[in-house]
Each structure stands twice: as C-alpha cells, then as structure tokens.
Amino acid sequence: MLSFLPKAPHDITEELRAKFKARRKSLNYTQDELAIRSGVSLGSLKRFESSGKISLESLLKLALVLECLEDFSGVCEVEEEKFKSIDEVLGKS
C-alpha cells in the first residue's frame, strides 16, 4: 500500500488492537486482570484483542487503566488557522 494514501478504518482498528494488546502485556496484565481493573467484560476484551471490535466506552475504560487515555484528548481537535503565504504572516495583503 502506498504510504501517501490515508489509512482505512480497518487499518486503524488493527493498529489500535495491536497497540492495546502490546500495552497490556508491557504492563504485565493478564486479560483477566485488565478486565477486572477496567470493568470491561472479559469477553469484550478478548473480542477486541482478536478482532478489534469494541464499544467506545469500553475502549476508553481500557485506555484509562493502560494509562493512555490522554492520547484520545486530541482526537478531532479544530486546527489553528494556518497561514497560506509569508505575506499573511507579515500582515501584507
């Protein structure tokens, strides 16, 4: 796949699934432990780690326990206005 093309939702889902699983393992949590700590059912956690399917609320609960909830705070932020030319930076028309 060409790198300049935007990622498809499936690709992002797969990346999130893999990153969350790796993060769980790096913190030495079993699936059972993470499920208990997060309040997400073990079945939901297993489904997420195998298929990427999970509710947003459950994903955020997992992120909280895995100490990466703050990563979601920048999603869909409105970007600051960007200058189109040096003349705009200098206030020239």
Residue-wise pLDDT for 35-73, tens only, equals 999 999 999 999 999 999 999 999 999 999 999 999 999
**Whether pTM exceeds 0.85:** no
- For the chain, what are the domain ranges? 9-70
Residue pLDDT, tens place only, 24-33:
999 999 999 9
**Predicted pLDDT of residue 21:** 98
Superfamily of domain 9-70: lambda repressor-like DNA-binding domains (1.10.260.40)
Q: Are 38 and 61 in contact (CB under 8 A)?
A: yes
CB atoms within 10 A of CB 85: 8
First CA to last CA across the chain, in angstroms?
42
